[in-house]
Structure 1
Amino acid sequence: MPQPNRTSPRTREKRLRHRLTELRGPDVPAKALDARALAALAANPGCHRRAILDGAGVDKARLASALGAPSGFGQSQFALTRGNAFEARVKADGGAELLRLAHAGLDPGAVPPEEAAVPDLTAHGPEGRTARTALALQEATRSGGWTLLDHPMLALDVAGSLAFLEPDAVVVHPDGSWSVVEIKSFPMLDGAADPAKVGAAARQAAVYVLALEEVAARLGAEAPRVRHRVLLVCPKDFSNLPAGSAVDVRKQRAVTARQLARLTRIEEIAGALPEDVCFAPDQPAGELTAAVEAVPAAYAPECLSACELAFHCRDRSRATGTVTHLGRPLRAELGGLTTVEDVLAAARGMSGDPDDPAVAALRRAAALRAEALADAAHREAAPCP
């Protein structure tokens, strides 16, 4: 009779951390997860490859370059510099302009933020900063005034591993509620910004909302309400003046929470890998490729805008003929047909169950195509009048 696993949670966590260090490479520093990576991870919860690489702190950009498939994913240095300069302007003078925008966009019925506290959140290490942030939030909630937390540190449990997150700012309202502030450098023209960029910012802010809710839960039954309307601050028109807009992230929060809950535990993925697997980018290309291929991926075209390994995974998906590289909607329509070869064979009547709706649709499409081609060939062969 098998004995129950009596390993303590602390021991299991220690073993997992040791195993993740081995996977990353003992001498390779860990790359911390951020909210952007978590939003992308939640958008593709079935990708074990991304889950274990992010959980182990692997620098996927370096890994992609070592695999011979570098990606241009990420912000340019110019965009980073411009974004940092704009954020500094928004937060100047103790965040007076930012708090004015928060008052106007999120809480116009509250007293104006003529005076606001900006607590010092300095502490040693991410754990220390997380604890200091929680204490500052608790004190600000009791104060009954406006408080601005500049780059607080939050922790979120992701598939059994803690991710430390740093939002641009969190505002504590006079009623004790908390709001996330996202500062972006893309413009807001005539009061509206690019919907795709706003959507990406909303998904990122939703991760911060989830992390804030965990802080609120730890504070007990009298914890304040975390607002699901966040403040998006962007340059107004073509100037460098800040403009604010309230964005409701309830939908993004619900989707992100559901997808993160579905993620396979990193411990299970790591336990299924061979002992000699290592993702250190300085090892021979053949060994590195074999290590990456040992972890199943779930590539889709959407990965090109969200993951540094997208080019490598796309090449592998094409080489194996899987239909996932054609897009998730098409993959869903094809049912049990998982490769291009299977799809073509079913369309030609060489395989597949004719009662399968996907097979029947493919054969109907193939027949219509053949009919159209025959009709076109007939018209070309017909003599001119």
Structure 2
Amino acid sequence: MSTTHHTLREQLAALRGQDTPPRPLDARALAALAANPGCRRRALLDAAGVDKGAVAETLGAPARFGQSRFAFSRGHAFEARVKADGCAELLRLLGADGAHAEVPDLAAAGPEGRAARTRLALDQATPGAWTLLDHPLLTLDVAGSTVFLEPDAVAVAPDGAWTVAEIKSFPILDGGADAMKVGAAARQAAVYVLALDALTPGRARTDVLLVCPKDFSNLPTAERVDVRKQLAVTRRQLARLTRIEEIAATLPDGTCFDPGAPREALTAAVDSVPAAYAPECLADCELAYHCRDRSRAADSVDALGRGLRSDLGALTTVGSVLAASAAPFTPDADPAVAALRRAARLRAEALALPPTS
């Protein structure tokens, strides 16, 4: 391992708090990060393994999403059923009903050891036979930092192709599942395909196997989900991320995101890293409510959504938007200003209000 990598790891540990264990970055969080590549705050805290949920609690703006204990237990029970008896159900859903599969032992010391065992198992899969990797560990370079990812399963088919299997506890009803949940699962699975492509390009199939309960039973069923679009978007967005060491280099000396720090100090540390808040963050980032409060306090248009923020161009505050909408029309006005002024005039006409100019 290079000296630079050692230095970055030590720096990230200091940012997290030397006595604070790192929180692993999973595919769900990575997919959310890829959806908002301009957020340096999330990129840095995720790379450092900071527990953003605990930080949000200290800041007084806790996240309001998450999985209940009941749903968590139900998910584990369903996954255990899918993988019971040598993964017989999973093999059936893969189209190999009655076949036998090798299930190599992937246990090893530490994440680096488990990732190495995963690579070895993929390389040594028996040609012409099925091999199933139960919770393999994959690696992906994200903004100069190594991320470890753990899919539910990866199947190696007799023809050598790799298939990612995602096991979810939400049901497939009458042959279809909730579109939002399927979309989230597809984005998550695309991260795993991207990690497999980093090992051997072209071996991983771009249609993943989504395994869910059928209707209201606990009987597993599955559908193939094409993740080519999600894969392309994730690859492009991750490439846009600013490298972690560049973000860390801009921080004041002594910056630390330890959730046990005093609230004032932790608030200053979090606010020292630029964020790119959007309402979509509320669904998948633990710090979203803190960032929303800061965005509103700054009168920022970020709180109105990414699409509108992009349309408004140089108008970055709500106050400037309102002022622009009331400004007299000029032929050389900025396109965003002209559109706002036209919208204000149409609104006034529709409501029979006196014109603003």
TM-score when scaled to structure 1? 0.89
C-alpha separation in 2, matches of 1:346 and 1:117 = 66
- 1:155 aligned counterpart, secondary structure: strand
**Aligned match for 2:15, one of 23, 33, 37:** 23
Cα displacement (A) at 1:374: 4.1
Say whether the 8 Å CA contact 1:353–1:359 is kept in structure 2.
no
Name structure 2 gaps, 5 residues minimum. none
**Aligned match for 1:300, one of 275, 278, 292:** 278
C-alpha separation in 2, matches of 1:216 and 1:370 = 60
Say whether the 8 Å CA contact 2:32–2:284 is kept in structure 1.
yes
**Aligned match for 2:256, one of 270, 278, 284:** 278
**Aligned match for 1:290, one of 268, 273, 297:** 268
**Aligned match for 2:109, one of 121, 124, 141:** 124
Cα displacement (A) at 1:244: 0.8
Task: Render the CA deviation track for 1:269-293: whole Å, top value 9, x for unaligned.
Answer: 0011111211111111111111111
Say whether the 8 Å CA contact 2:292–2:303 is kept in structure 1.
yes
Say whether the 8 Å CA contact 2:329–2:338 is kept in structure 1.
no
- 1:180 aligned counterpart, secondary structure: strand
- 1:103 aligned counterpart, secondary structure: coil
Name the counterpart of 1:32: 24
Name the counterpart of 1:156: 140
Q: Which stretch has the larger CA shift, 275-284 or 164-173?
A: 275-284
Cα displacement (A) at 1:296: 0.4
- 2:254 aligned counterpart, secondary structure: coil
Name the counterpart of 1:382: none
Give 1:232-247 correspondences, 5 Å limit.
Answer: 232-247=210-225
Is residue 207 from structure 1 mapped to residue 191 from structure 2 by the alignment?
yes
C-alpha separation in 1, matches of 2:317 and 2:78 = 48
- 1:149 aligned counterpart, secondary structure: strand
C-alpha separation in 2, matches of 1:83 and 1:275 = 43
**Aligned match for 2:73, one of 81, 97, 110:** 81
Name the counterpart of 2:85: 93
Say whether the 8 Å CA contact 2:329–2:341 is kept in structure 1.
no
Is residue 188 from structure 1 mapped to residue 172 from structure 2 by the alignment?
yes
C-alpha separation in 2, matches of 1:369 and 1:227 = 51
Say whether the 8 Å CA contact 1:41–1:50 is kept in structure 2.
yes
Which one has the largest radius of gyration?
A: 1
TM-score when scaled to structure 2? 0.96
Name the counterpart of 1:336: 314
Say whether the 8 Å CA contact 1:103–1:113 is kept in structure 2.
no
AA of the residue aligned to 1:122: A
AA of the residue aligned to 2:142: V
Say whether the 8 Å CA contact 1:187–1:234 is kept in structure 2.
yes
Cα displacement (A) at 1:367: 2.2
- Give the share of equivalent positions with the same residue, in percent: 68
C-alpha separation in 2, matches of 1:247 and 1:232 = 7
Name structure 1 gaps, 5 residues minimum. 1-8, 105-111, 218-223, 377-385
- 1:143 aligned counterpart, secondary structure: coil
Is residue 166 from structure 1 mapped to residue 150 from structure 2 by the alignment?
yes
**Aligned match for 2:203, one of 219, 222, 225:** 225
C-alpha separation in 1, matches of 2:47 and 2:146 = 9
Name the counterpart of 1:267: 245
Cα displacement (A) at 1:78: 1.0
Q: RMSD of the alignment, in Å? A: 1.7
Cα displacement (A) at 1:171: 0.4
C-alpha separation in 2, matches of 1:330 and 1:294 = 26
